[in-house]
């Protein structure tokens, strides 16, 4: 008799526990912190940049894609068909910001943060480039979306305490 009562009590406890669990609504999915940058993914972004000092043109191709686990946006940039930059954007849960990291073919390391404007079309980047000679440069850049398949990219450096544009280029996406 005692075993029967114990078994019934155990069944009641398990039953009420399972009922409580089944009545709990599933937690809503967290918003994707990289969603503001998702429009960059896909195709090949290209630009031809003319050097004002000697007139040479550098053909730039940038490929941007999701990582297999969808937790970073990976990019590769070629200059005149040769690999130059490899990097990624990822959400930093400690700072609640989107960080980016990339290396250059020269061995430089760049680390920065991107802040999307609420309009969803302007992205501000602050970053440091660690040069191979041990020096560090601090820069800013702005990406401004122009429709679904183009964006402007400007880079600024400090000169005499003032932020000045170093260059501006326009990327256009070509389908793959």
In the chain, where are the structural domains located?
35-174
Question: Does residue 17 carry a pLDDT above 80?
Answer: no
Greater confidence (72 vs 12) lies with 72
**Res. 176: pLDDT tops 80:** no
**DSSP character for 51?**
-
User: To which residue do tokens 């040479």 refer?
Assistant: 56
What CATH number labels 35-174? 2.40.128.20
Between residues 31 and 131, which one has the greater pLDDT?
131
Q: Bigger pLDDT: 35 or 9? A: 35
Under the banding of pLDDT at 50, 70 and 90, the label for residue 67 is: very high
Q: Model confidence over 89-146: pLDDT tens digits?
A: 999 999 999 999 999 999 999 999 999 999 889 999 999 999 999 999 999 999 999 9
Q: Which two tokens stand for residue 158?
A: 């400090």
Q: Are 13 and 21 in contact (CB under 8 A)?
A: no
More confident residue, 27 or 34: 34
Nearest alpha carbon to residue 112 among 104, 100, 124: 100
Q: What is the pLDDT of residue 7?
A: 37
Please name the residues in contact with 100: beta carbons below 8 A apart, sequence gap of 6 or more: 87, 88, 89, 90, 110, 111, 112, 113, 114, 125, 127
Mean pLDDT of 8-31: 45
What's the pLDDT score for residue 5?
Answer: 35
Residue 175's pLDDT is 85
Q: Please say if the pLDDT value at position 1 is more than 60.
A: no
Least confident span in 20-24, 27-31, 63-67: 20-24
- What pLDDT score was predicted for residue 84? 98
* pTM listed for this prediction: 0.80
Residue 149's DSSP bridge partners are: none
CA distance 171 to 176: 15
Residue 10, pLDDT > 50, answer no
Q: In the numeric block, which tokens belong to residue 11? A: 């069944």
């Amino acid at each position: 008799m005692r075993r029967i009562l114990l078994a019934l009590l155990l069944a009641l406890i398990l039953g009420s526990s399972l009922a409580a669990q089944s009545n709990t609504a599933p937690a809503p999915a967290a918003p994707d912190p990289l969603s503001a940058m998702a429009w960059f993914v896909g195709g090949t972004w290209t630009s031809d940049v003319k050097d004002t000092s000697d007139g040479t043109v550098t053909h730039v191709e940038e490929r941007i894609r999701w990582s297999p686990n969808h937790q970073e946006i990976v990019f590769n940039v070629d200059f005149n068909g040769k690999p130059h930059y490899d990097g990624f954007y990822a959400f930093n849960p400690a700072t609640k910001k989107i960080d980016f990291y990339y290396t250059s073919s020269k061995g430089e390391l760049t680390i920065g943060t991107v802040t999307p404007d609420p309009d969803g079309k302007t992205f501000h980047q602050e970053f440091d480039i660690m040069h191979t000679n041990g020096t560090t440069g601090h820069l800013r850049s702005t990406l401004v979306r122009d429709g679904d398949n183009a964006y402007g990219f400007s880079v600024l450096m400090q000169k005499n305490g003032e932020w000045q544009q170093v260059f501006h280029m326009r990327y256009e996406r070509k389908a793959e």
